[in-house]
Structures are given as structure tokens and as C-alpha cells.
Amino acid sequence: MPIQYYIVLALVLFCIGIIGVLIRRNAIIIFMCIELMLNAANLLLVAFSKMHNAAATATNSNVGIEGQLFVFFIMVVAAAEVSIGLAIIVMMFRNVHSIDVNFLNRLKN
């Protein structure tokens, strides 16, 4: 499959993520949209890694999988992020009985 398909898919996922973050007010949805953006990036990394791998292994068999390794790091960071983020959301719900981010406005004052 040509690389363009992966790029377009990643772009679409990323844009859905951004738009979701911007227009939704539910903290869980926003959270999921952030994950969507991260995974769009992961998808690109894997796709490009696979694409370059074929050319790179011809000269040196030890190269060509850094992109895929990187994805694991991102997944780990995302997992850590999720745990903190969900904790915040839980605390938020306990305090204001809502997970609407606009309730966070009251931090302003």
C-alpha cells in the first residue's frame, strides 16, 4: 500500500482528535481525542518506519526499526498520562459532580 494512505489516515485521525478537543466539553471525550492524536502520530511513525526499513536493511541490518521502538515509548507515556488524567477527572467529578471542562472556569478566580 502506498504511504499516502497512511498519511491521510493519520491526518484524518489527528484532525478528529483536534476538533474533538476543541468542541467537546466532556473531559473523557477530550481525553480520548488526545489519545487519538497520539495514536495518529504512532501510526505515522510505524508507517514511515516500515517504509524506510526495506531500503535501510539492504545496507545495514541493524537499522530501520527506531520508528517502531519510538511508538512503544509513546505508548508508555500515554499510559502514564492516562493514569494521571483519569485521576484528575475522578477528583474533578468528586468536587463538582460533573466532568464538563467548562466547570474548570472557576479556577480563574
| Beta carbon of residue 86, minimum distance to other proteins (angstroms, whole number) | 17
**16 contributes a contact to other proteins by CB under 8 A:** no
22-61: which residues touch other proteins (CB under 8 A)?
A: 22-23, 25
Distance, in Å, from the CA atom of 98 to the CA atom of 73, rounded to the nearest integer, reads: 32
Q: Which is nearer to other proteins, 17 or 67 (CB)?
A: 17
List 7, 9, 18, 32, residue binding other proteins (CB under 8 A): 18
CB 5 within 8 Å of CB 50: no
Gap between the Cα atoms of 109 and 42, Å rounded: 38
2 in Cβ contact with 40 (< 8 Å): no
Candidate ranges 21-29, 38-46, 61-69, 71-79; the one touching other proteins (CB under 8 A): 21-29
The interaxial angle of helices 27-57 and 66-96, nearest 10 deg, is 180
Question: What is the binding site for other proteins (CB under 8 A)?
Answer: 18, 21-23, 25, 101-102, 104-105, 107-108
